[in-house]
Each structure stands twice: as structure tokens, then as C-alpha cells.
Amino acid sequence: MTASTQITDSTEAAVTSSEQRNELIVVTGASTGMGAATAKELARRGFQVLAGVRRDIDADALRADGIEPHILDITVDADVAAIADRVERDPRPLRALINNAGIAINSPVETLPLAQWRRQFEVNLFGHIAITQALLPALLRSSGTVANISSVGGKVVLPTYGAYAGSKFALEAASDALRREVAALGVKVVVVEPGAVKTAMPERGIATAEELTATLSAAQLERYGRLNAAVTAQARSFIETGVPAEQAARVIARAATASRPRTRYTIGRDAAVLVRLSRVLPDRLLDRIVRRNLRSFADSAPRPQRQLSRH
């Protein structure tokens, strides 16, 4: 992917000329949502952003002054090697790597196909580790920052989110390990834990969850149908009340570029509250709170119907 097209804007001229963009930042998962908003926010702040996207159409939509889109699937070794080579060929220091790429597919532990478990860990954990390993030499030279975008789900697990939350719990653990390994070497590691954010990702997750629900056997539907419907209704309410992606992007940009960042940042009041509760409440009490909250959505959620039987 070639360098971004220059765009004339007199209000940004003081900070957006190519010559004045003295530092690089890599953002993965920048096709839409928080990733795209973060790429734009960082470009506005004067950084040259190497933005990882999945499709040419996403690259065309994102390309702008200060944003250089690259086709990047973090689970594909060749894509990871290509972005690392692009960074190595640039004389400018790598200020930060923002690991934002992620997927969410929810279904009960019993019914989520093992392939979907593996896929979520491949994207939400192993892909992040792969690109971090590839770019760490550049970050060591520049005393840069690794910003891992986790989730409130990395602290509090809702029913049917076992695979997604499991991958985020693991990302939090890997982040803690990395931070303690490279702090003395000058590299900073931060974790960002968003709550509900208004992006397309939850809607895609809901659609996939409903498709999976439709494949449950009659016995599984009896066990989990009402729960799945309640979780879906709750997810839709989160979308309506979530913070805008642009607001989330400002938090991510601050975390990735601070000279002395905190180890963790939350996005949204819901994330801040749930993270605090997870630290102090006993498991059984937290279970009751989650169950009571879901019950309020279950009362209004339509009963899911089985379309295909699986024996």
C-alpha cells in the first residue's frame, strides 16, 4: 500500500505536512470503529499512522494526510512481516504500536464450536503477540509504547462471552508480563479497557450469535435459548448507550502517546464501574448482580427459534 494522499487543509497545515510528521504509530484493526477513529485522531495530532485494514475498500476510505493504510491480517505471518519491514525502512522512530484488532463471537461454553474458540484466541491474543514480537526491536530503539486494547470483558465475564473474555483475560496477563519484562529497557506497556462503544463490532457479534443460536439442538435451546435472547437484548442496549468511537479514540491516543502513562485506562462509565466492582465483590455476589441484570432483559426478549437441529 502506498503512502497516504496529501490533503490540503490550512487549519492543519502547521502539524500535518509530511516533513513534520516525525514519528510513526502502527494501529491494527483500523478498518472501522475505534481503530479508524484512533488513526484519524493520531494523524490530527501530527503522527504518521500506519493503519492496518483488511480490505482495499477500507484502505480507500481511510487514506488521508498522515494515514497510510496497509492490508494487515495479524494472523497472517506475511502481513505482519510486511508491516515490520515498512517500519524498519523508515528512518522515523516508532512511537507506539496500538493492538486494536479484535473479534467477538458469543455463545455458551457448551455450544460455541471449538473452531470459534480458536479463532478468537488467534485474533485477540496470538495475533497481537505476533505483531508485538515483530515490532519490538523498533520499539526498543525508540523507547516506544505498546498499547493493547482489551475490554471490560478482560475483567468481568458475562454469560456466553467465555471465549471472547478468555482471550481478553489472556491479553491482560500477557500485557502485565511484557510490561515487567521491558520496563527497564525503556518500553512502556499499557492496557485500555473499553466498555460499550458505538461501533459496528457489537452488531456483527449479535448477528453471529443469533446464527449460532439457530443451530442449537432442541435440548440446547431449552437450556440456553432464553439466556441467549437476554444477552442479545442487553448487547443492543449497550450499543445505544455506548460512548462514541471518537471519544474512545481520544483515550487510546492519550494512553499510547503519554510520556508516563498509567498501566491501565478504562473507556466509559460502565467499564470504570465494572472494573472497580470486580476488584472488591465476592464472586457469588457478582454472579447475582449479573443474573439479576440479565433477568430484566429476558422479560422483554423474544424467545429464539430453532432452525436446524444438531445431534
Secondary structure in 3-state letters for 193-204: EECCEECCHHHH
pLDDT band at 125 (very low <50, low <70, confident <90, very high): very high
**Residue 132 forms part of a structural domain:** yes
Q: Which of 50-54, 91-95, 277-281 has the lowest mean pLDDT?
A: 277-281
Q: Which of 17-21, 262-266, 303-307 has the lowest mean pLDDT?
A: 303-307
Q: Could you give the CA distance from residue 274 to residue 148 in angstroms, rounded to a whole number?
A: 19
- Other residues' Cβ atoms within 10 Å of the Cβ of residue 311: 5
pLDDT band at 305 (very low <50, low <70, confident <90, very high): low
**Residue 3 forms part of a structural domain:** no
255 to each of 28, 74, 155, 264, how far by Cα in Å?
16, 22, 19, 8
In this predicted structure, what is the pLDDT of residue 239?
A: 78
CATH number at residue 64: 3.40.50.720
**Residue 203 forms part of a structural domain:** no
How many domains are contained in the chain? 1
**Residue 288 forms part of a structural domain:** no
Backbone torsion region of residue 261, taken as left when φ is above 0, otherwise alpha when ψ lies between -120 and 50, otherwise beta: beta
**Residue 258 forms part of a structural domain:** yes
**Residue 72 forms part of a structural domain:** yes
pLDDT at 105 over 70: yes
Q: Which of 4-18, 128-142, 175-189, 292-306 has the lowest mean pLDDT?
A: 4-18
pLDDT band at 8 (very low <50, low <70, confident <90, very high): very low
**Residue 236 forms part of a structural domain:** no
**Residue 113 forms part of a structural domain:** yes
Range of the domain at 111: 13-197+244-280
pLDDT at 231 over 50: yes
Q: Could you give the CA distance from residue 156 to residue 286 in angstroms, rounded to a whole number?
A: 9
pLDDT at 144 over 60: yes
Q: Is 265 a catalytic residue?
A: no
Q: In the 8-state DSSP scheme, what is residue 217?
A: -
**Torsion angle defined by CA atoms of residues 68, 70, 74 and 79, in that order, rounded to the nearest 10 degrees:** -130
Taking each continuous run of H as one helix and of E as one strand, the counts in the chain are: 12, 9
pLDDT band at 20 (very low <50, low <70, confident <90, very high): low
Percent of the chain with pLDDT over 70: 89
Average pLDDT, the chain: 90
